[in-house]
A and B are shown apart, each in its own frame.
Chain A
Amino acid sequence: MAAVATCGTGAGSTGSVVAAGSKNHVTSFQRRGPRASGSDSSYSRLVSIAGTRPSVRNGQLLVSTGLPALDQLLGGGLAVGTVLLIEEDKYNIYSSLLFKYFLAEGIINGHTLLVASAKEDPADILQELPAPLLDDNFKKDFDEEACNHKTAESNIKMKIAWRYQLLPKMEAGPVSSSRFGHYYDASKKMPQELIEASKWHGFFFPEKSSSTLNIEPCSLTHGYIKLLQFIQNIIYEEGFDGSNPQKKQKNILRIGIQNLGSPLWGDDICCTENGNSHSLTKFLYVLRGLLRTSLSACMITMPTHLIQNKAIISRVTNLSDTVVGLESFIGSERETNPLYKDYHGLIHIRQIPRLNNLIYDVSDVKDLAFKLKRKLFTIEEEKEYTLNDLYKRLHLPPDLSDTVSRSSKQDLAEPSKLLGPGCGVMAGGKKHLDF
């Protein structure tokens, strides 16, 4: 990883990590996870950064996005030095929640935060962060839920599907005592002392902008220039790019930028089609350069549903590393659709980066839906009508013809039915049943 290689001072250790990484071939075998930090000397320098872990697939250094389900979908987490772009949902409810989870994870892990917004004061954003869930409390709640689920399942008479009982059940709950990825309670706020103990920098654009300068077209909007300068200053002064040799303890800088591209940043791509269409793309390009040469990870939320020129969206997608789109059902006709009544919206994984890799780390499951329960934000595979389900639920004999499953999928856009967690991998796509 470029960030690892150029991150100056510990040249010996980083070199050995790169060498270890290059031993990986493009296979489906996964690396054994690293042993506890400290015992393996080649990892000790980097794994000792709190809240990070190397990816099991290619040794990339990862940080958690704050939502373990999203981490799993992105192949373990967000790679250090990359940009995660969240395409906002229409009323900006769920994307701002993901943004807060990202920042909250940074506070819990002791990372430095940089919060940039043009709408809300960063101090106010930090006051609204969700509280972390302690392991034992959550385990109790989850076990209760799991028990209810199990009693319901046992009532169903599974006459034919004896094979399904042999498949292992996927663990969907929180892994206790995990230092990577925490669960948060969206109904409670983060305790004040944790926020005050954390180190954060805020960029509130209306305060920083002095005057409305006349910018010529095809150059960066005033707001973006200021933001880039701010980020660059923080990275340099705090030594995230390895430029400050006195720094002994390495740390990650988490950058969160809210509502990038909205008119409040001075950018008019949401207002007109022929606006300053290159400002945002230039910003992302320069930002990527800054991130690749520092120990930082960035999450940006962008109201892409407002952008008038669709070509800009595809350029923005290409310039970001990981792109996740949120689509909420509020106000759309899907809200009353009984197929979607369990969920609050859909998650689209639009792009996953190939970092030092020839293959994508993408999961098999394409249709994902999310729901915001009282405390938790959960992402689940969107339950499909495949013949597996019908076989299980309705005790009908399976029909192995391919055309039947395909046409049923076309007729109903995204139908839902309960699918056991054990069958998740098998029935995720249009695959044949295996008997």
Chain B
Amino acid sequence: VTPSEGARGGTGRQLEMESVLALRGLVLLRDSVEWEGRSLLKALIKKAALGGEQVHILGCEVSEEEFRAGFDSSVNSRLVYYDLFRDPLNWAQTGEALPGGPLGALQAMCERTDPGPVTVALDSLSWLLLRLPCAALCQALCAMSRRHACRGGSLAAEQLCVLGLLHRELHGPGPMGALSSLAQTEVTLSGTAGQASAHILCRRPRQRPTLETLWFSVLPDLSLDLQGGPPLESQPHPDPHTPQVDPASHLTFNLHLSKREREAKDSLTLPFQFSSEKQQALLRPGPGPATSRIFYEPDTFDDLDPEDPDGDLDV
């Protein structure tokens, strides 16, 4: 995981951000009550539409008019909108609703896409997750990318982008974990002091996942303004590196030697080293008594036999 550093500025950073935003596969936009994600979703849709991709939208949470507000006419004409907000259970029986409920709508959307770069926006995935069994939804999402890949050929798997808006507070760890394990990219929205940030976790197959943090804001015309770093006023200053754990900090023995101790250690002659000093000491008769003596006071319980001082003769 490589956390991004502070502001680096310049076009290099801009290009890098653009590459991070080149999202493919299943992308989860996880927002929360404080930091809403629909504006980011719309900004990404606009970017995709202006980039010439087909854009299909499944609208469940807001009405079509509200969703289309903010897009200019060129973008609006390129959006293919499937409305599940007005009549999700098809009570009006108008015949224009997609069959099979929300799951059928997902499958139908997939079938109506032409080969080529496609962006599918699900507004929102939370709505679907609350109404469909999680396992079925996961299978449908995987089936979408697979069916698109089948039709397009070898590169087609890279050309489908499914943007799913997910509200973090609505779901427990189970469904969130299950969807995370399927997603290629997870964008978690948060921020500080009025500045929104996106933590982007990219999982590429067979590679280590990468984590990037982008500070951005969505302008009124729904274009993305990427900033270099957090605003200067707020300084929670996230520490890029956790404090290094010092393994030798809480030991009951001393691992570090002071200078004096080190000198003493180096000058120590070890018992098994047969140095020349030792050799001389052994050969030379010492200045002290030639033999060593043991002084022993026998106490009342001792039974010393002078002929058998060790007491090991079997008599």
> Which residues from chain A sit less than 8 Å from chain B, CB to CB?
91-93, 96, 118-119, 128, 159-160, 162, 206, 212, 262-268, 270-273, 303, 305-306, 308, 330-331, 333, 335-339, 385, 390, 394-396, 399, 404, 407-408, 411-412, 415-416
Contact = CB atoms under 8 A, between A and B. Distances in A.
Contact of A263 (B1, B134, B173, B211): B134
Interface in B213-271: 241-242, 244-245, 247, 250-253, 255, 265, 270
B21 interface: no
A412 B178 contact: no
B135 interface: yes
A336 B139 contact: no
B247 A271 contact: no
Contact of B178 (A262, A336, A411): A262
Contacts of A262: 138, 178, 181
Nearest to B134: A271
Contacts of A118: 139
Interface stretch (B41-49, B83-91, B202-210): B202-210
Nearest to A221: B135
A264 B182 CA distance: 9
24 contacts: A91-B208, A91-B209, A128-B206, A159-B270, A162-B272, A206-B142, A206-B143, A262-B181, A263-B134, A264-B142, A267-B135, A268-B133, A270-B177, A271-B133, A271-B135, A272-B174, A303-B181, A305-B177, A306-B174, A330-B209, A331-B1, A331-B209, A339-B245, A407-B252
Nearest to B251: A408
B99 to A, nearest CB: 15
A273 B245 contact: no
Majority SS of interface residues in chain B? loop
Nearest to B171: A271
The range of chain B's interface size is 35 or more
B175 interface: yes
A385 B252 CA distance: 12
B138 A264 contact: yes
A339 B248 CA distance: 11
A392 to B, nearest CB: 13
Contacts of B136: 212, 266
B57 to A, nearest CB: 25
A351 B38 CA distance: 47
B146 interface: yes
Q: Which 9 A-B pairs have the closest CB atoms?
A: A271-B134, A263-B138, A263-B135, A411-B250, A308-B174, A271-B174, A268-B135, A306-B177, A270-B178
B23 to A, nearest CB: 18
A306 to B, nearest CB: 5
Interface string B111-137: 000000000000000000000011110
A278 B265 CA distance: 65
Contacts of A336: 241-242, 244
Contacts of A162: 272
Given A159-B270, A262-B181, A415-B247, A335 B1 contact: yes
B247 A385 contact: yes
A221 to B, nearest CB: 8
A263 B247 contact: no
Given A263-B139, A267-B135, A412 B250 contact: yes
A308 B172 CA distance: 10
Interface string B165-196: 00000001111011001100000000000000
B255 A394 contact: yes
Contacts of B177: 270, 305-306
Given A93-B208, A303-B181, A395 B134 contact: no
Given A93-B208, A331-B1, A338 B135 contact: no
A100 B245 CA distance: 35
A93 B1 contact: no
A268 B134 CA distance: 7
Contacts of A92: 181
A396 B172 CA distance: 53
Contacts of B272: 160, 162
A220 to B, nearest CB: 14
A98 B208 CA distance: 16
A396 to B, nearest CB: 8
Interface centre among B134, B143, B174, B208 (most CB of A within 10 A): B174
Name the residue in B172, B177, B181, B207 with the highest tally of chain A Cβ atoms < 10 Å from its Cβ: B181
B146 A206 contact: yes
Contacts of A308: 172-174
A330 B174 CA distance: 21
A385 B134 CA distance: 46
A160 B270 contact: yes
A336 to B, nearest CB: 5
Contact of B139 (A91, A93, A264, A412): A264
Nearest to A303: B181
B174 A331 contact: no
Given A262-B138, A263-B182, A271-B175, 20 more contacts: A91-B209, A93-B208, A206-B146, A263-B134, A263-B139, A264-B138, A264-B142, A268-B134, A270-B178, A271-B178, A272-B172, A272-B175, A273-B174, A303-B181, A308-B173, A385-B247, A390-B253, A404-B252, A407-B252, A408-B251
Contacts of B207: 93
B59 to A, nearest CB: 25
A19 B174 CA distance: 51
B247 A412 contact: yes
Contacts of A390: 253, 255
Contacts of B252: 404, 407-408
A93 B250 contact: no
A401 to B, nearest CB: 9
Contacts of B265: 395
Interface in B269-292: 270, 272-273
Nearest to B1: A331
